[in-house]
Structure 1
Amino acid sequence: MEIANFFKLLRKHRNILIIIPLLTVIGSFFLVKNLSNSYISHAQIATGIVDASRHVIDKEENANAQEQQVYREFSNLIAVMKLKKLINQVSYQLIIHDLSNNAPFRKYSKELTEMRPYERDHALAVFKNKFQRLEPLSLYDKNEDKLNDILISMKYDERSILKSLNIERDEDSDFISVSFESENPQLSAFIVNVLCKQFIDYYTQSVRQNETTAVNFLSKLLEEKRKALSEKTEELQKYKIQNGVLSLDEQSKAIFDQIMVYNDKKLQAEKDIISYDGAINSINGKFEPKDRKYVESAVAKYNQAITSTQDQLHVLEDRYVRSGFNPRYKATIDSVQNELTSQLNLSSDKYLTNPLVAKDDLVHQKLTLEISRDLAKYSVKSIDKELASLNGKFTRLVPFDATVKTYDFDIDIAGKEYLDVLNRYNETNLKSNFSINLRQVEMATPDIAQPSKKILLIALSAVLSVVACLLVMFILFYLDKSIKEPSELVNKTQLPLLGYLNRINGANLDLKKLWDVEHRDKMKQFKELLRSIRFEIDQELRGEKVVAITSIDEMEGKTLLAISLAYSYSMINKKVLLIDGNFDNPTISKTVLPNIYVEDFFKNNPLNTAEVNNGNTTVLGNHGSDVTPFEIGDEAFIKGRFNELKSKYDIIIIDTPPLTSLNKSKEWLLFANKTLAVFESGKKLTNSQKPYITYLRGLENKFAGWVLNNADFNQKENNRS
């Protein structure tokens, strides 16, 4: 819908879309018809940045060049070509050529023509001097400032040259393209060739100077690093000679290995001592009473019996001797002797080994173990002495090692610095012989004139003017929040619509002619739309008779609608009463000059005898005083009067004040069965008017709907579209 409205706006203003582009084309034609022909000269410079054939020594490095780096290098070269000092060199060459040649590229300007011959000679000398010295003109010097004005007048200055100068890289190639456009083919070729030559010379000189400075600096730095490395090496040699150090790493390693061997021997000796002590203690335990008791416990009872028998035998032998070897004791002694023998035999059977033999072996083992233990103890002392000696040697090597390592570290750092500087020196020295790759591979030559752009410029001006007009209209359309169509009014107010009235040109509307004769399309459409509104009102009233017509603001066409409706109802033989309720602007009363007025008819006075005549169409006017209906008569009285009018008329139309009059309009609306609101097309709904919309919504069923007045809207055309 919005797009359709925009195209409708374009159709409405189609004359503008035709006239403005036409005027633009005519103006463009007169502006471009006297344009001179243009000539473009073109040259190419090979940079050698991406050309593999020109990279022999640094081919691998060039192959790894990234696209971003290549782009930066080309951008840097193009920026150098546009330097002011190089453009000034071109300017000097141009003016020198024109001052010293009978066929200048351009006709002398007014400033140059007014100069005297000696002034021209002086200017020529100054320009040549500036060109040789690669210096700009000083604008603080009056004479040089005047020479700068001459360059500007001849359009040889920097700004004028850069306007027509084009410098760019040819796609992804190795070439920089330089072109210049002017009205003279010789001039275009001259500027391009001079700029290329000056650029190559300047860049070559700058690079050579920078590389020479870098090589000299690296050479001096390389000599300093070599000297520092030699000094560090000499200091290390002197220190080793003074302290008798050959190879600290090997010496320390040998001593450390010996220390580890002696530590192992010491550990083994300590283990042996512990084991020998344990064995000796175990042997000593064998000689304790407790241990012997355990060994001899099995034969203790036999020993006791033998002892007892031996004691008896000793007593008997003593008695035998004392008795003088009495035979009767002999038999007893033999018997006891036999018993002792049997006991001894029984005791000897209980011994597995000879106890004396075992003890001798234990004593022998104990002595052997003690000797081995003493040998182990003495070896530990010897090992400790040797370890102390080795640790002392190792400790003496530590400060030597730390000092030597410090020297070695310094020498290593100095060596790395020397090698790094050496590599950079070799690389820079090598690149300095192959770094300058710029050369002009294509010279600029005078070329034929370029195809005329006059028709293209004229066509472009026409297209741009049309686009500008469309853009302006679209902006106006987008920013336009006014209501122009019935659907927009319904959407923004959320209230129903009864109809709309089209726009009628002219100051006054003759309703009699509207119904009597045929008129042009707009008048006929107005009559049809009025009939439609009348039909919708009848459907809303449903037998009721009082219709109030109001609006949000003044001058929106409610009075015209009231009069038109009254006349429309009279055309179908209805008795119509038209009440002019707008006390602030009684337009109907001033136009019709009624016989009776609201102030008289609705006045609550017993002596009030005012009555309206019972004609087909009656107008009840007002005097235009600052009053309200309730100030004329109370509500009940006015309601009674309306009941009388309803019995006399088929339809009563009240032209009320706008809603901005507050209570003046609302008091009239109390007596209406239905209320119509008129809204003029092309106006906006402001925030201050929203309370009135809310009030109309509050009327609910009493509000019949909107009537959009002065609408530039054709329902038939809209249906076709």
Structure 2
Amino acid sequence: MNRDLAVTNPEAWPIQPYVDPGAQQPEMGPTLDLRSVLHILREWRWLILATVAAGIALAVVYTVLTTPMYRASVILQVNPPTVEILDEESGDRSNDPAPWDFVATQVGLLSSRSLAERVAQDLNLANNPNVVDQESDPAQRLKSATDVVAGGLTVVPPDQGQLISFSYDSESPVLAAQVANGLAEGFINSNLQRRYESSAYARNFLERQIAKTRGDLEKSERQLVSYAQQQGIINTATDQGSSPLSTDANSPTGQSLGDTNRALSEATARRVAAEGAYRAAQNSGVTSTETASSQALRQSRAALEGEYQQKRTLMKPEHPEMVSLRSRIAELDRQVSRENSNVAAGRVNALRNDYQAAVAAENALRGRVSQLKGDVLNLRGRSIRYAILQRDVDTNRALYDALLQRYKEIGVAGGIGTAPVSIVDRADPPGAPFKPNLMLNLIVGLTLGFLAGLLAAIALEYLNDTIKDREDIRTKLGLACLGVVPKRPAKGDFVEDLRDPTSGVAEAYSTIAASLGFSTESGVPRVLLLTSSRPGEGKSSSALALAQNYSRRGQSVLLIDCDLRKPAFKSPSDDIGLTKLLTNHEPISGHISPTHFENLSLLASGPVPPNPADLLATGRFQAIVREASSLFDIVIIDAPPVIGLADAPLLAAMVKDVMFVIEAGKTRTSVAREAIGKLQAAGAHILGATLTKATGRHSAYGYGYGYGYGYGYGYGYGEKYGAVDKNRTSIALIPNQSDA
């Protein structure tokens, strides 16, 4: 057998982590997705069913033990106040809250303890033996009755609108309706009482303000009258609210000044007219027709002029009679002219006298106006203080009138307007209890039981974060799953299962053997090491099953038991075995024993040495592996567990190709990761992982370590490693040996 060894020169092996670039990186922690939830539901279905049954049972027990409760409901309508306190002309309205704020306030008042105490007093619940214990004092009974009323009240504020619904719960349907209606009536009465008290307080306040304002008004009026008497100010204005400075006609001096001004204006007009007539008379003189006394002379002249013209046709102007007529006419003209001159001079004198009289009257009135102006100005200066006092009087009078008006209207406002609260629906005694509700309790119990069971299952699942299936190996460890070995029946023999190619165990290991053929470029590794994170995971059984599977195919296989602390396979003699080979340089052929299986040989561990790790760390083991691979087609090494021991990492560093064995549902993810990390740090090439005992609980199968010194993993495992237990049972593979 001159085939190349799978194990290369040991001196060229660096002890460094091996990273498979094609391997999927493990997740940092457990994830919860739909697949995980379905897996949890399937794995922990009995726990979930038990919690659901417990929830339903508790719901039934709660329903049976719960005292029936009756609920009586009342619907109230609240109406925000809209009464106006002042008149519309002033524009001042009552400061009413917004409707929603008012409704929220009413909800708070309905839930108040004062209302509960009022209802307890109105209904005399303190003396009702069905409500409170009658052995305590009256004050304590009233307090207890108030607690009963407040404890059973439930107020539902409206989402919109102005309807408030509240209910009262009690063990008695009659008491429930009685208290609910009592709460509604007491709430309405308390609102009316608060409204009356508010109006009474406002009236008392206004009475005090009116009395004070009345005193201020009287005081200001006395000051005004006293000052007017001192200064001699007489105000004749009909409007008492007008200011004395608004017009000067309010005083006698002002009235006199006005009258004198009007008289002065008339005198000035008369003077102007007289002056015009006088100047016209001076300039134009007086015509004959303007004087009555010369009228007869003008008539005589006209008669003579007519006679002269008549005789002129008969006589010449030189005629004496004609000359006489002309003389008489000229004399009449002189008489008319003289008469007119006399009349004109008399008229001019008369007009001059009228003009002079008008000027004198005008000057007299003008002097009187100047005097009155000075008096008015003097009065105006003295009236400034009077005006100030008058304004005080007017202000106090207006304030007094407003307070009187408000006082009158506030009394009306306390008794009119829409009622703030009214009852829409009264409470009737309920015909059936609203609690307990069996169907609702069953639904709640079932839901809570299912949720509790699911949460407990998830907690147990992740508190016991173990490797359970192929997906866990890929996602949590980043390794390929070479195969899954099912749990074998409790009865029967493992070796017999391997002999039957149709058994589930044999089929599973055939699949693993086929997967190993694709794990490397050259096929099945010449030297393969099997290990696990902890004892009892089926590592030794897997080593035997794989060796038997390859030997059944006609390949020569050597199974080496490298667990020098607790061997898994029986040795025919303590004089042969791996321990002996590690301490000498004998050929391995003298220490190899045949087994029950054709083409399968066993190199047992031999006697337990005091220093297994030191023996395995020497170069002698490398030589043994090299010699064994030259004699057999396949060498399978059963190594100790990784956690707590240095043996497996030392062996993995020499062999390189490692198959990791995991017990389904038992090996924790953190423990497996730690073991894989140790192997990779030693430079091992982990081909993949095999999942054993893949159906729930399994029998104790494999090792029963009992070493004298312990290794605590921090995960709940505490194995003891030491001398081999004399009562320990090993797998018998040597012919003519009975199984223990």
Whole-angstrom CA distance in 2 between matches of 1:483 and 1:177? 58
Whole-angstrom CA distance in 2 between matches of 1:191 and 1:529? 76
Does residue 71 of the first structure (1) align with residue 103 of the second (2)?
A: yes
Whole-angstrom CA distance in 1 between matches of 2:491 and 2:228? 124
SS for the counterpart of 2:643 is: helix
* Cα deviation, residue 532, structure 1: 1.7
Report the equivalent of 2:288. Answer: none
Unmatched 5+ stretches in structure 2: 1-31, 234-242, 249-376, 697-740
Whole-angstrom CA distance in 2 between matches of 1:193 and 1:208? 23
Moved more, 648-657 or 505-514: 505-514
Maintained 8 Å contact 1:91/1:158: no
Deviations 1:166-189 (A, max 9, x none): 444566454444443445443333
What pairs with 1:509-658 in structure 2 (closer than 5 Å)? 510-516=494-500, 524=504, 526-540=505-519, 542=522, 544-584=525-565, 586-589=566-569, 596-605=576-585, 610-613=590-593, 616-628=600-612, 630-631=614-615, 634-635=618-619, 637-658=620-641
Does residue 458 of the first structure (1) align with residue 442 of the second (2)?
A: yes
Given candidates 15, 31, 34, the residue that maps to 1:3 is 34
Whole-angstrom CA distance in 2 between matches of 1:527 and 1:91? 86
* Cα deviation, residue 411, structure 1: 9.0
Deviations 1:219-261 (A, max 9, x none): 313433454466568768878998999988999xxxxxxxxxx
Given candidates 188, 200, 206, the residue that maps to 1:200 is 188
Whole-angstrom CA distance in 2 between matches of 1:243 and 1:587? 139
Deviations 1:19-55 (A, max 9, x none): 44345445544654587876544444444338x8x99
Does residue 449 of the first structure (1) align with residue 450 of the second (2)?
A: no
* Cα deviation, residue 494, structure 1: 3.3
* Cα deviation, residue 10, structure 1: 1.4
Maintained 8 Å contact 1:511/1:567: no
Cα 1:416–1:560 shift into 2, 3 Å:
farther
Whole-angstrom CA distance in 2 between matches of 1:444 and 1:593? 98
Given candidates 432, 438, 443, the residue that maps to 2:414 is 432
Maintained 8 Å contact 2:501/2:507: no
Maintained 8 Å contact 1:545/1:650: yes
Moved more, 506-515 or 639-648: 506-515
Maintained 8 Å contact 2:559/2:600: no
Report the equivalent of 1:704. Answer: 687
Whole-angstrom CA distance in 1 between matches of 2:571 and 2:392? 118
**What is the letter of the counterpart of residue 76 of structure 1?**
G
Whole-angstrom CA distance in 2 between matches of 1:35 and 1:233? 81
Maintained 8 Å contact 1:547/1:676: yes
SS for the counterpart of 1:588 is: coil
Does residue 214 of the first structure (1) align with residue 202 of the second (2)?
A: yes
SS for the counterpart of 1:675 is: strand
Whole-angstrom CA distance in 2 between matches of 1:418 and 1:480? 89
Deviations 1:486-522 (A, max 9, x none): 3333333334443333344649861323432755xxx
* Cα deviation, residue 603, structure 1: 1.9
Maintained 8 Å contact 1:559/1:587: no
Cα 1:477–1:138 shift into 2, 3 Å:
same
Report the equivalent of 2:661. Answer: 678
Maintained 8 Å contact 1:21/1:462: yes
Maintained 8 Å contact 1:42/1:180: yes
Unmatched 5+ stretches in structure 1: 99-105, 116-122, 127-136, 140-146, 252-392, 714-721
Report the equivalent of 1:49. Answer: 80
* Cα deviation, residue 629, structure 1: 5.7
What is the RMSD computed on CA atoms of the aligned residues? 5.0
* Cα deviation, residue 11, structure 1: 2.5
* Cα deviation, residue 588, structure 1: 0.9
Deviations 1:584-605 (A, max 9, x none): 3x24145887772212112245
Whole-angstrom CA distance in 1 between matches of 2:247 and 2:84? 51
Cα 1:218–1:613 shift into 2, 3 Å:
same
Maintained 8 Å contact 2:527/2:637: yes
Cα 1:226–1:77 shift into 2, 3 Å:
same
Maintained 8 Å contact 2:44/2:457: no
Given candidates 650, 655, 670, the residue that maps to 1:667 is 650
Whole-angstrom CA distance in 1 between matches of 2:69 and 2:398? 63
What pairs with 1:109-188 in structure 2 (closer than 5 Å)? 137-139=138-140, 157-168=145-156, 172-182=160-170, 184-188=172-176
Cα 1:666–1:177 shift into 2, 3 Å:
closer
The TM-score normalised by the length of structure 2 is 0.57
**What is the letter of the counterpart of residue 210 of structure 1?**
S
Report the equivalent of 1:353. Answer: none
Whole-angstrom CA distance in 1 between matches of 2:512 and 2:459? 35
Report the equivalent of 2:332. Answer: none
**What is the letter of the counterpart of residue 507 of structure 2?**
E
Maintained 8 Å contact 2:526/2:629: yes
**What is the letter of the counterpart of residue 540 of structure 1?**
S
Maintained 8 Å contact 1:41/1:181: yes
Report the equivalent of 2:261. Answer: none
**What is the letter of the counterpart of residue 184 of structure 2?**
C
Moved more, 420-429 or 19-28: 420-429
The TM-score normalised by the length of structure 1 is 0.58
Report the equivalent of 2:117. Answer: 85
Maintained 8 Å contact 1:600/1:610: no
Report the equivalent of 2:363. Answer: none
Maintained 8 Å contact 1:495/1:697: no
**What is the letter of the counterpart of residue 693 of structure 2?**
N
Moved more, 212-221 or 621-630: 621-630
Whole-angstrom CA distance in 2 between matches of 1:400 and 1:626? 133
Aligned residues: 515
Maintained 8 Å contact 2:76/2:424: yes
Given candidates 442, 447, 457, the residue that maps to 1:473 is 457
Maintained 8 Å contact 2:547/2:557: yes
What pairs with 1:87-106 in structure 2 (closer than 5 Å)? 87-89=119-121, 92-93=124-125, 95-96=127-128
Whole-angstrom CA distance in 1 between matches of 2:481 and 2:47? 34
Whole-angstrom CA distance in 1 between matches of 2:681 and 2:68? 76
Report the equivalent of 1:224. Answer: 212
Maintained 8 Å contact 2:75/2:165: yes
**What is the letter of the counterpart of residue 190 of structure 1?**
Q
Report the equivalent of 1:190. Answer: 178
**What is the letter of the counterpart of residue 654 of structure 1?**
I
Whole-angstrom CA distance in 2 between matches of 1:645 and 1:416? 127
Deviations 1:625-662 (A, max 9, x none): 34246536841x43332222112222211122333345
Whole-angstrom CA distance in 1 between matches of 2:394 and 2:548? 117
Cα 1:609–1:530 shift into 2, 3 Å:
closer
Maintained 8 Å contact 1:676/1:705: yes
* Cα deviation, residue 212, structure 1: 0.9
Cα 1:247–1:582 shift into 2, 3 Å:
farther
**What is the letter of the counterpart of residue 506 of structure 2?**
K
Whole-angstrom CA distance in 2 between matches of 1:616 and 1:166? 84
* Cα deviation, residue 444, structure 1: 3.7
